[in-house]
Structures are given as C-alpha cells and as structure tokens.
C-alpha cells in the first residue's frame, strides 16, 4: 500500500518560472519470501516513508512559434524503511535503513505551438543531464 501527499507552487514572472515541489509518501510492505531448501515461506509486514523536496526553474525564450527553454533543478529525496523480523521460516531480523539522494538536472527543451480548431498542440523535445551527488 502506498499513500502520497504532494504540494506544488508554480511561479511565473515574465518568461521565468520556478516550481517548488514538496511530496511525501507513507509506504506499507507485505512481503512473502520463499525459502526453497526449507520448503517454507518467510513473511513480514513493515512500513517506511519517502520525502522529496524539489526546486526547478527556467526561462522560456520565444522565436515565432518556437520556444527554447533552458532548465535547472535540484531534488533531495529521503527514503526510510523501518526494521522488521520475518516469521514463518528463518525469522530473519532486518535493521531499519535510510537512503538520501541529491540530484541536480541541467538541460533544455525546444517546443513548437500549433493552434488548431480544438486547441493548442505543443510537441517538445528535451535533453537533460542528471547528476547524483550523495551515492
């Protein structure tokens, strides 16, 4: 089971934009692990959470019907999984674990606007370089 909460606040000033995003998830796990040589199944139920904070921004340059948008973002993610003890077989005990990730992205996109009778059609092509700083 997985439940998630997300808050997004976009800001646009002229052709500049900034999107701060905060999200979190409550993770619940139910695991069955087959142990073939014992002919038994180990089971466990445990919880955890994921928390994410992102800030992204860029500037859209217009050239007729085309747009060119350089973009940059930084995202921090914390993943926590509570410890647990399996039952029904080897009764393995697993300690809680934490993982932290810090990812930067730098890139851009090109788009084109086509106005149609049913609305705007805006295909885009993008390229982004990502770098993970903590792992």
Residue with tokens 């934490």: 98
pLDDT of residue 5: 65
Q: Which two tokens stand for residue 21?
A: 């995003």
Residue matched to tokens 């921090």 = 76
Query: Cα torsion at 116, 66, 70, 135 (round to 10°)?
Result: 50
Cα-based distances in Å from 15 to 2, 5, 58, 102: 37, 29, 8, 27
Q: Quick one: what percent of the chain has pLDDT higher than 90?
A: 70
User: What pTM does this model have?
Assistant: 0.78
Whether the predicted pLDDT of 4 surpasses 70: no
Considering only CA atoms, which of 85, 78, 70, 69 is closest in space to residue 27? 78
Give 34-50 pLDDT, tens digit per residue. 988 889 999 999 999 99
Q: The tokens of 23 are what? A: 């999200």
pLDDT for residue 9: 61
pLDDT for 73-113, tens place per residue?
999 999 999 999 999 887 899 999 999 999 999 999 999 98
Digit-coded pLDDT (tens) for 48-82: 999 999 999 999 999 988 999 999 999 999 999 99
């Amino acid at each position: 089971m997985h439940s998630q909460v997300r808050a997004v606040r976009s800001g646009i000033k002229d052709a500049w934009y900034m999107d701060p995003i905060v999200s979190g998830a409550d993770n619940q796990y139910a695991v069955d692990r087959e142990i073939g040589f014992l002919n038994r199944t180990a089971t466990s139920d445990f919880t955890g959470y994921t928390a994410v904070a992102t800030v992204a921004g860029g500037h859209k340059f217009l050239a007729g019907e085309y747009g060119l948008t350089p973009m940059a973002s930084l995202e921090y993610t914390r993943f926590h999984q509570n410890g647990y003890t399996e039952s029904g077989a080897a009764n393995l005990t697993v300690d809680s674990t934490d993982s932290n990730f810090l990812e930067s992205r730098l890139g851009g996109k090109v788009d084109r606007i086509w106005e149609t009778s049913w609305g705007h059609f805006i295909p885009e092509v993008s390229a982004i370089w990502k770098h993970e700083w903590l792992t």
